[in-house]
Amino acid sequence: MNYNKKSVEDVDVRGKRVLCRCDFNVPTKEGKITSDKRIVAALPTINYLRQHGAKVILCSHMGKPKGEFKPELSLRVVAERLSELLGVEVKMSKDVAGEDSKRLAAALQDGDVMLLENTRFEKGETKNDPALSKALAELADLFVNDAFGTAHRAHSSTAGVADYLPAVCGYLIAKEVGIMGKALAAPERPFVAILGGAKVSDKLNVINNLLEKVDTLIIGGGMAYSFLAAKGYSVGSSLLDSEKIDYCREMMQKAEKKGVKLLLPVDTVISKSFPDPIDGPVEVSTVAADAIPEGFMGLDIGEQSRRLFAEAAKAAKTVVWNGPMGVFENPTLEKGTIAVAQALADSEAVTIVGGGDSAAACEQLGFAEKITHISTGGGASLEFLEGLELPGIACLQDR
């Protein structure tokens, strides 16, 4: 995929109606937004469009209404918060691409902002229905995609609309594509990737793709036990993708053949049972990775593994990290994930953290400022690491 895409700065937006796809899928409780981080993240693109005389038409999804109007998933709360942040009234349409949207869009003046209702209230959105894509396109003269979190979805508001309008990216996608694209296409070396999380099956293609690019691949989290089992170790009652053992062997052989150093845990924190509740007390001990007793499960990497992984990360010039090293939600089982986050924060390398739990860990620990880039998209950043073409980026004009 070509990562060199045109951005809002490469086109003339003055006097034009610009349809801007954002990621306003914010968490809410009892009708109130509990975190406006995603709204704040969209402000640089919105402000640029306003300052350069565009008539701004924002759109996004929220939740999974499955093509039905659900009042609790209305974007009205987002329009209210945006109005406060921008200091201007953000007009809210009652529909996605119907008569009310057309009326409001037609009345916009340069610098005005409106927000369409939740795109997923329309059944055609997730099916990339050409009729809905065309109706959205008719509202505007130009399409800007700034929602990296949904760039891996071929939906009407993320990709389909680009069949009918010139399409460029906003600042968020430009940053994601610029930093992650360069890391994968032309990384400063040594290039180290750290993968964690529960299952090998979730990251099959990511492992395969990264082995073509990295100098060192570190595997922790629940997925490590399938690799340890593939080495012939007993893993007790640890999480195991038993159908993927042969795949793990293949990947270890591939790493050896390509001269890629593949690091697995050398020791592991074990317990007799998974914590219940997730953050409840848990009695643990640490054993060598090849000595997990029957009836015990590995739930985090041990102290030696933490040192080993941290040293590899600190020696790198580029580090990509996706997925925790253990059951990070539990205070007793968070040390492995903290050690990796700390190593990235202390590193002078280009450090890139995928979305989801790894990003949450860096933010909770106060390390976010010390990381080069924290991705705004969990699923999208994973597909990016797989080397897949992301529909919401592929549809944008090349530079």
* Catalytic choice (197, 356, 377, 378): 356
SS3 content of the chain, % helix, strand, coil (to 5): 40, 15, 45
Instruction: Note whether 335 and 300 are within 8 A (CB).
Output: yes
Rounded Cα–Cα distance for residues 392 and 172 (Å) = 13
Residue with tokens 């693109």: 45
Residue with tokens 């195991």: 240
Rounded Cα–Cα distance for residues 224 and 245 (Å) = 11
Q: Is 269 helix (H, G, I), strand (E, B) or coil?
A: strand
Instruction: Note whether 205 and 250 are within 8 A (CB).
Output: no
Which among 263, 282, 285, 238 has a CA at the least distance from the CA of 343?
A: 263
Single-letter code of the amino acid located at 72: E
Instruction: Note whether 206 and 322 are within 8 A (CB).
Output: yes
* Catalytic choice (199, 254, 317, 370): 199
* Catalytic choice (38, 55, 175, 244): 38
* Catalytic choice (53, 98, 111, 379): 379
Q: Judge whether 326 counts as a catalytic residue.
A: no
Which among 236, 240, 239, 221 has a CA at the least distance from the CA of 327?
A: 221
Angle, CA of 118, 120 and 126, to the nearest 5° = 150
Q: Is 161 helix (H, G, I), strand (E, B) or coil?
A: helix
Q: Judge whether 356 counts as a catalytic residue.
A: yes
For residue 57, what are the β-bridge partners? Answer: 19, 114
The residues assigned a catalytic role are 38, 199, 356, 379
